[in-house]
Every structure is written in structure tokens, then in C-alpha cells.
Amino acid sequence: MNQTAVGEVEKLVDPMLPQLMSIRKTVWETDDTFTIQLEKADHYDAEFTFLPGQFNMLYVFGMGESALSISSDPLKPGTLAHTIHRVGTVTTALSQMKRGDVIGVRGPYGTNWPIEKANGLDVCIVAGGIGLAPLRPALYSLFRRRRDYGRILLLYGARSPLDLLYRVELEQWSKLYDVEVLVTVDRSDSTWKGYIGVVPSLFMYIKLDARATIAMVCGPEVMMQYTIAEILRRGIPPEQIYLSMERNMNCAVGFCGHCQYGPKFICKDGPVFGYPHISHLFEKKEI
Amino acid sequence: MFIIQRRDFDILISALKQRGYTVVGPAVRDNAIVYDEVNSASDFPVGWTDEQEKATYRLKRRADEALFGYSVGPQSWKRFLFPSHVKLLSVVKKGKTMEIQSDASNEKPPQYAFIGVRSCELNAIVIQDKVFMNEQFSDPTYVLRRHNAFIVAVNCTQSGGTCFCVSMNTGPRVKGKFDLALTEVVGNGVHHFVAEVGSDKGAEVMKEVPHKNADASGAGVAEKLVDATAQHMGRTMNTDGIKELLFNNIDSAHWDDVARRCLMCANCTMVCPTCFCSTVEDATDLSGDYAERWRRWDSCFTMDFGKVTGGNFRPSSKARYRQWMTHKLASWINQFGASGCVGCGRCITWCPVGIDITAEAEALRKNSVRIEAEHSTGV
Ligand SMILES: Cc1cc2nc3c(=O)[nH]c(=O)nc-3n(C[C@H](O)[C@H](O)[C@H](O)COP(=O)(O)OP(=O)(O)OC[C@H]3O[C@@H](n4cnc5c(N)ncnc54)[C@H](O)[C@@H]3O)c2cc1C
Ligand code: SF4
Ligand code: SF4
């Protein structure tokens, strides 16, 4: 705190004050999940920059705010986007927004996926459900310098074939960027020719050079628990495992206390953690 | 060190008021000593003291006319620096767009002078400084109030039945940043305050308050009173390896035991001077064109605290009590470099079922030692 006399506090930056952005486009990925692309709607002319894995707080007039990961390419200016599962008040309101409607955006917040650290390594990306959204910016970043990495594997699972996100892109990624994409669903339908089962079961079908592999995981907590157990069993060192955590979040700036996970605040110490930083809590219930 | 006579105490209050401060001090309301706006010493709890035990708080008459002859009441200064309910944003809808104003950073904040800040409470304020002025973000509501606050600290000359500041190394002698610190000396025909100046602002105010220099014996009397307080703590807490104790006992059976007693009423978090959790509420007016965002105190004991769509991360009572105590005594040290407990005893006094954080910590330790012993002997 600066030592100034009474009344001398200068203009304060309010971390809870959003900037304004408008909806450029809404794309429905599945029946209940959509991607909104945003563009600046106010006088701020600074470019919105972020790192893969970071999130924003999106405010809808009168409804509230939600923590939402950024799902777009960090290296493509002006393409900010979020992929959102419609589940409640705010996410439903976001799903109903039309082109040009304005929302509030605070961010970006939180830690990022270790793209630098992946240099020279094989990268194994594991996603469950909406967990693919925060990993997409990581994939885009890897593609930029594809030759700097060894294999890129993407193990991805959804409830059913109709719940798969980014279906067209998944195919492109395997063709254009030599990504080994393995997709599984919990429940199949008559059209489905791929794997059936939970995400960790996909490890049966791959071989890893464990020491030379870095893993990035995001999905429901149970899925992450089983996945990490599987990854560890494969011999990938704990320091090469990263995961993105979720908790109730009200402020995203470390004030509200809701997102605490042991000594960590998910909003500022996470959401992306190196596994050794939380491994002692990870198997415990109700932390 | 200076001596201010009791009869000149009102001059201190008026000197602060003249400087534009809203002066807040102790006052008796509804059979408890609370902090409220005061205009003169007659608003203080003159001649009152309190008796505190677990789940017990009672005011009693003293034999003298002391102004500070009690320990801490149910409220702390956090209710002024971190108000329980604040408007963060006002939002006006304009067609497809909107205008958002930060009320928190544009308000003209109250300028508070706090009289009677105990050592544990001063420590609690420093702890909340670290929360609301963290390495990345500052909360305007807090900063604006905190920045301007004038602090008249008071050394405790009597310990409360639930106090354990000595264990937490937070008192009873006032340490840290204050503007003035007072020790009240009353009895045997004297009634005065031994005063210490802690800042330039404090020195300025002292110029207006009649005082004389304290000689060695005058200062010595005050010292002795505070030393005696330290000898008579109502509670103690063994803080040896306390962080490890909590972190290593996540699975302790003792949490089930506390959970059977705890009502999840959240009293302990409301009265605690360091607890800082909050939640945000949104409201619109009838026209639907105007909305506000408000922040209010929240508690890790509420059912909704860990709720997310499709689940709740802490549904059981046991996990919620564990979260609170582990945060206070252990995680806080990782997060802010200091314990989240300053030993004020409020949570013990105001828990309706008498759950005592010092006793729970001790029980956890005993349990843990017993389990270790069983393991090492192979039982
Ligand atoms: C770091 C982070 C990143 C996230 N990224 C995405 C993403 O990319 N896509 C996506 O679809 N979802 C994401 N979520 C989950 C998303 O925040 C919730 O689904 C959303 O807040 C639900 O809000 P609602 O009003 O629609 O639901 P409701 O059920 O109506 O929510 C009511 C209230 O509960 C709270 N709440 C409910 N769920 C959550 C939650 N998971 N986290 C925090 N608070 C919650 C909110 O305070 C909300 O106001 C993320 C969550 C976190 C913490
Ligand atoms: S935990 Fe209890 S004793 Fe410790 S500071 Fe909070 S209210 Fe006071
Ligand atoms: S410990 Fe006591 S005060 Fe705290 S929630 Fe439980 S019953 Fe209420």
C-alpha cells in the first residue's frame, strides 16, 4: 500500500469491472453446446491477448457471470471465442444471444498449458466432454510449430456421437497436423464406428514413449482421476502431467474464496496445474 | 510515551472528527459490546466488562469506570473495511449494448478512525490486507477504506475467557502499524492512558490532545498490565507443526466427531476477523433496463459454497468444517505467509454449540499421535 495522506488514493482499477464485447457469431457444436465468437464493443483498442488454458468471466446483463475457458487460437488476433455447455442461467442466456448483442468480459485469468515445456517431446492430450474447449488453444499453439514436437496424440471422449465437439476439425487435425486422434463415446448409436467406453480405456490402444511424453488433461474430475492413474501407470513422470481444475468461482481474482482447493486458488494458481502441485489432494474426497 | 488524562479523551475524539474522520469505537448495544460511530467517551462501554466462555457472552459491571475494560465483542473491524454488503456495479441497458459503472471504485469512501483496535485485530487487518491487496489484484472497496483509516490501537489489560493471542503470537501487546496505541491505567485514584505514537498522522493528532511525557514508572505500569494479560490467556493453542498437523489429517476420524456437533450455522466465519469469503448477487429493476451486482459475505459452511452445475464439491458437514479449520490454521500459511487465526476467540464464544478451535486442534493432535503410535507398534 502506498503511504499517502487521507483522501489521496488515486484512480483504482476495479478488477470486477468487465469490458464490453459483442457477439459476432454463434455456432452450435451439438444440441446443447455452442461456440460464441466475440469482438470488441467499446473504446478499448488494445488487442485481447491470452494464453492457451486461460479463462474469462462472461457477464450477461442482470443474469450474472460465469467462468468460461477460451477455446480459440491465441495466435490469431481478433478471433476470441468460448465453447459453452448450456446448463443454467448464464449459459442459457449466452446461448440466446444474437449477433451484435453485448456482454461483459473480464480476463484473461489463470495459468496456461505448458506449450514451451512441450518442446521436443511427444504430447498426449486427453479431454472429456467440454474439457476439449480449453485444450483447443493448446492444440492450435502446437500446430503453429508442429515440427518442434514429436507425436501429438488426442484422446477424446464424449457421452454419445452427437455430443462430440469440433467434429470437422478433429478430422482436419489428424490430416493436416499429423495428430493421432482417438475418440470414444460412452453410448454409441448405429452410425458410430469408433471406440466405445470411458476416456482412460483409450490408453489400451496406444503406445507411449513415457519419458519423452508430456500429458495435458481436462475433463470431469473422476475422468481426470482415472486418466492420471493410467498415465502414471504408463510411466510418464508426474512433473510431465498437467491438468485443468474446476471449482465454483465468483470473482476469479482471489477475493471470493470459493475456488480454494487445499492451499490453492484455482482462479490464480490454476486452473492449469502441474500434477505434483496437487497430487496429495487429488485422490481425497470433498477438498 | 505520553500520558493522556481520561478527562482529555474527548479531545482525542474531536481532533479526529475535525480532521474529517468518522470515528468508530466500542459501544454497548443489545447486551454486547459492538463497534459503532461514537461522538464522545460517554458513548463507550464505561465501567462494563464481558465474561466469555465457549458459547457464552455476558456483560458485567466493573468496579471502575474503565473505557476499555473488556476483550473483543462479536464484531470486528472487517465490517467497516470489508462491508458485509456492497454494490460492485451498476449497469444500464441501452438497446443491444449496456453501460457498466464500477460503484466500488467511484464511491466517495468513508474515512474511518477506529478507536480500540486490539492487537489481535490489528493483526487480522494486516492479514486481510494480504487478501484484498494481493500480488495481482486490489479490491477498491477495501483499499479506499483501508488507505484512509486512522488506527488507535489499545493494549489489552485484561484477557477474555476465550482469548489465545499469546499462542498465535499476535498480542496482547500491540505490534505493527498503528497511528496511536493506548494502554488504559485505571484505579487508585488515577485514570489515564499511556500513549505511543506510531505514525506521522498520529503525531499530528497528538499535538492537539493535552498530554505529558510519561516517565519510566508511568510507562512501566502499562507494561506490567500488558504482561499480566499475557499470563492469563483463557485458552492456548499448540502451534508446533500445526500446518503439517492439519494437512496430514485430512482423513482423520476426528472430523466426523466435530461434524456431529456442528450446526453449519456459519457464525464462526461471520465473527472471525480474517474470514473473507464472499459471493455475488445480481438484481434487475422492474423495467428490466437497470441491473446491479452486489457482493455479500459468504461462508464455507453454506451448502451452496462448493456447488457447481451437476454437483457439489463439499456436500458433507465434515468436509465443510475441515475446510474452514484447515484453511484457518494451515492453507492460509501457504497462501498469505501467516496463520488465518489471530487467537481472538470469537469463534469459540459465538459458536452456539461451543465448538472450540483450540480444543479441536488439540483433539486432532491427540488422534494423530495415537494413530502414529498404533502404526509404529503395528497395532
Ligand atoms: C476455470 C473454469 C473454466 C470453465 N470453462 C468452461 C467452458 O469452457 N465451457 C463451459 O461450458 N463451462 C465452463 N466452466 C463451467 C461454467 O463456469 C459453469 O458451467 C457455469 O458457470 C454455469 O453457470 P450457469 O449460470 O449457466 O449455471 P447455473 O447452474 O444456473 O449456475 C448457478 C451459479 O452456480 C455457479 N456455478 C455453477 N457451476 C459452476 C462452475 N462450474 N464453476 C463456477 N461456478 C459455477 C455460478 O456462480 C452460477 O452463477 C468453467 C468453469 C471454471 C471454473
Ligand atoms: S479462527 Fe476464531 S479465534 Fe481465530 S481469528 Fe478467527 S474467530 Fe478469532
Ligand atoms: S463451528 Fe459452531 S459457529 Fe461454526 S458453523 Fe459449526 S456450529 Fe456454527
Share of chain B above pLDDT 90, in %: 89
Structural contact between residues A74 and A50, judged by C-beta atoms closer than 8 angstroms? yes
* A46–chain B Cβ distance below 8 A for any pair: no
- Dump pLDDT digits (tens) for B268-307: 999 999 999 999 999 999 899 999 999 999 999 999 999 8
Q: Do B170 and B255 belong together in one domain?
A: no
Would you state the cell numbers that stand for residue A86, as one nine-digit string? 448450456
Residues 6+ apart with CB under 8 A from B341: B168, B237, B274, B328, B329, B332, B357
Residues 6+ apart with CB under 8 A from A6: B19, B20, B111, B148, B201
- Rounded to a whole number of angstroms, the distance from the CA of A136 to the nearest CA of chain B is 22
Residue from the list B105, B134, B300 with its beta carbon closest to the beta carbon of A254: B134
Q: Over 70: is that where the pLDDT of B374 sits? A: no
Question: Residue B277 Cα, ligand 2 centroid: separation in angstroms?
Answer: 14
B309, B312, B313, B314, best to mutate for ligand 1 pocket (most atoms within 8 Å of CB): B309
Q: End-to-end CA distance of chain A, in Å? A: 33
* DSSP code per residue over B344-364: --HHHHH-TT---HHHHHHHH
Q: What are residue B138's DSSP bridge partners?
A: B133
Would you state the cell numbers that stand for residue A96, as one nine-digit string? 440466446
- Dump pLDDT digits (tens) for B140-180: 999 999 999 999 999 999 999 999 999 999 999 998 899 99
Residue B91 with chain A: CB contacts under 8 Å: 61-62, 104
Nearest to B3 by CA among B283, B173, B219, B152: B219
Report if residue B368 sits inside a domain. Answer: yes
Report if residue B339 sits inside a domain. Answer: yes
- Dump pLDDT digits (tens) for B126-141: 999 999 998 889 999 9
Nearest to A285 by CA among A218, A216, A200, A221: A221
Query: pLDDT value at position A7?
Result: 44
Given pLDDT bands bounded at 50, 70 and 90, which one contains residue A9?
low
Q: State how many domains chain B has.
A: 2
Query: pLDDT value at position A43?
Result: 64
Q: Over 60: is that where the pLDDT of B378 sits? A: no
**Is A19-109 a CATH 2.40.30.10 domain?**
yes
When comparing pLDDT for B372 and A53, which is higher? A53
- Dump pLDDT digits (tens) for A176-199: 999 999 999 999 988 899 999 999
Q: Do B69 and B127 belong together in one domain?
A: yes
Q: Do B46 and B184 belong together in one domain?
A: yes
Q: Do B225 and B255 belong together in one domain?
A: no
Q: Over 60: is that where the pLDDT of A30 sits? A: yes
Q: Do B225 and B259 belong together in one domain?
A: no
Given pLDDT bands bounded at 50, 70 and 90, which one contains residue B216?
confident
Query: pLDDT value at position B309?
Result: 84
Domain at A116-244, CATH from 3.40.50.300, 3.30.565.10, 3.30.930.10, 3.40.50.80:
3.40.50.80
Q: Do B332 and B189 belong together in one domain?
A: no
Nearest protein Cα to ligand 3, atom 4 = B268
Which residue on chain A is closest to B335 by alpha carbon? A263
Query: pLDDT value at position B311?
Result: 86
Put simply, the answer to whether B334 touches A100 (Cβ < 8 Å) is: no
Put simply, the answer to whether B334 touches A263 (Cβ < 8 Å) is: yes
Which residue on chain B is closest to A21 by alpha carbon? B97
Report if residue B352 sits inside a domain. Answer: yes
Put simply, the answer to whether A251 touches B280 (Cβ < 8 Å) is: yes
